[in-house]
Chain A
Amino acid sequence: MSQVLPAEGGLRRVIGDGSSAPDGEVDGLGSEELLALYRNLVLLRTYDERSVVYHRQGRIGTYAIFWDHEAMQVGSTFALEDHDWIFPSYRFSAIGLLRGMPVSTVLQWWRGHPAGWWNPEEYGVASICVPIGTHVPHAVGFAWGSKLKGEDRVAIAHFGDGATSEGSFHEGATFAGVMKAPVVLFCNNNHWAISTPVAEQTAAPTFADKAIGYGMPGVRVDGGDVLAVYDVTREAVARARAGEGPTFIEAVTYRAAPHATADDPSLYVDEERVAEARENECIGRYERYLTRLGVLTEERAAEIKQEALERMRAGIAEAEAEPPADVGLVFEHAYAEPPPGLSEDLAELRRILGE
């Protein structure tokens, strides 16, 4: 167990501040890859900002905001192979966009239209998990089951700091350690579970310290640094693929936006920390880094942002053009072979609705 003790203290960082903290290096990323990361960051940011607008316009329902959480999604997904699976929480609802999922699909999920419920096998992205932390065992079981079949697949589960208080996280992490499952447990510590701060969530000095108890390494990374997130996830994935088992990653950020569209953080949040987080938000940091490298120009950045905006416009138009779902879908899909009563219920409902 010596290799898992203790959890690393400091936050891993690659991107510097352009003056006192110099930029680090990451192997194997040329300008093409660096720009691909940027394009993905912008896509998610645009998705998120437009979604808040769509919500205000009444075009989507309640929405869980992920503003400034883009670097964790983009960096970690970039470290995966296409056949690896992602198990997202609702905060990372649009992570499927990084796997080619249409914008309209995710928008439909937030619109409550059945078209928003995708086939996980199509994208290697499990369904959005709403009950906190309960998908951790799914990722672990998937990874363990893939290993048992001799398949070279890794799973990553995304969850927040609050999820580590849930029993499901504990049981999933326990299984991951015991089964040496090729899984990455990616915890975003954004300092808040709605209004509950980390100090009221755990007495552990860091969330990564929890990894020790499950016999896996715990790593801490700056969750706003897309390159550092990529780098630590890549190491964890390599470890998993080499048969060395799970890794716990604590990606640290500060939630600078409300928990969701229905939340009022002014009642509890530290406004100074929010201002600091907004100043240091992940895409601006990466833009400045790329500019220092000479990889990104203002014109290129503007083009990329315009492309993302157009995808969103097309996505919401496509979602809104979809005809309303048939009520028959209320009854379908719960069972492969439904109990007989369901078809009677549907027939009765259609009769009452005059269909």
Chain B
Amino acid sequence: MARQASPLRGCAMAERFLVEAVNDALRIEMERDPMVLVMGEDVGKLGGVFRATAGLQERFGADRCVDTPLAEAGILGTAVGLCMAGWRPVCEMQYDAFSYPALDQLINHVGRYRWRTRGKMSFPLTIRMPYGGGVRAPELHDDSPETYYVHTPGVKVAIPATPADAKGLLAAAIRDPDPVVILEPKLYYRAQKQDVPDGEHVVPLGEARVAREGSDVTLVAYGAMVPLCERAADALAGEASCEVLDLRSLKPLDEDALLASVGKTGRAVIVQEAPRVSGFGAEVAAVLAEKAIFDLRGPVLRVTGYDVPYPYWQIEDAYMPSVERVADAVRRVLAS
């Protein structure tokens, strides 16, 4: 593995794929806190279907990297009980849409139990899952379910776009006293190695990142839509100067960073892979309408998935936001 010293951060770096950065975070957090426990389907001997948990069972034993029955509500439900017994479980949902059976536990209990005890008991559990499309997979291996999670009180949500953030946000989630859901863009699990800080690395929840500076329009994105927006910004070079804002955390949302960026550019295009109706982009648009309306020089536009089931993979590219669709939206808002 290539290593280099970072002149900017003053800490050692290693080039890692995003999924390797996830693994690195899990290993370090399990070493740091003996109450951190990883559980899920195939996470032990196999190391996860994407190898996110590779080597953890060997290192920490079958009691701390637990292969569970194939039962998502059972995973999350027993994780609630594990919290009550003093553990800090990290639950893997094997794929985005496989997490739906666990919504019963999430909505009924995970987001409510702390409140139910009037703050006396903590439920510091983490749910992590690969999400999103573009990987030519069978049905229900492609969903972007973030809205279900964001809409659940008591639960925080973060979605990394880079290997370094995948590590840092996961570490923050595991250390957080509240339940946190982390969606990992599976399309970028092994797309490109990037610098990831060695050792402990925490990216606080609730802090957005300006992925690229620009002056004409802000492209608001998270997860797999961030690299897409960067490509769109490249494609628009010479035509429009695009700022790309990577939200990183959906709840808590870094409203200051959002308002600062849109205050500067006066225009916003929100890009999300999930279906449009009541998606997270609608929340971002509402915040802009409530708090930035007088900064806006054109309508807030959304580029999203459509309000249909995620399609047959031979034509999935037509569903996914593309460079062309983002560029079209930017041109429309600039022309308005």
Contact = CB atoms under 8 A, between A and B. Distances in A.
B199 interface: no
B84 interface: yes
Contacts of A118: 117
Contact of B154 (A138, A149, A334): A334
A119 B82 contact: no
Q: How large is the interface on A (under 10, 10 to 19, 20 to 34, 35 or more residues)?
A: 35 or more
A119 B109 CA distance: 15
Given A168-B104, A334-B153, A336-B114, A143 B73 contact: no
B68 A141 contact: no
Contacts of A153: 85
B177 A336 contact: yes
Contacts of B120: 119-122
B139 interface: no
A75 interface: no
A141 B85 CA distance: 8
Contact of B73 (A120, A127, A168, A337): A168
A336 B73 contact: no
A43 B84 CA distance: 29
Contacts of A261: none
Which residue of A121, A138, A335 has the most chain B CB atoms within 10 A of its CB atom? A335
Given A143-B81, A333-B114, A134 B74 contact: no
Given A117-B117, A144-B78, A339-B251, A171 B73 contact: yes
A213 interface: no
Interface in B107-149: 108-109, 111-122
A134 B104 contact: yes
B291 to A, nearest CB: 11
Contacts of B105: 134, 137, 168
A6 interface: no
A333 B178 CA distance: 10
Contacts of B114: 333-336
A74 to B, nearest CB: 24
A97 B251 CA distance: 39
A211 to B, nearest CB: 16
A167 B119 CA distance: 28
Contacts of B13: none
Interface of A: 85, 114, 117-122, 126-127, 131, 134-146, 148-149, 151, 153, 155, 167-168, 170-172, 174-175, 178-179, 332-337, 339-341
Given A144-B81, A167-B73, A333-B119, 5 more contacts: A137-B73, A137-B77, A138-B109, A175-B78, A334-B111
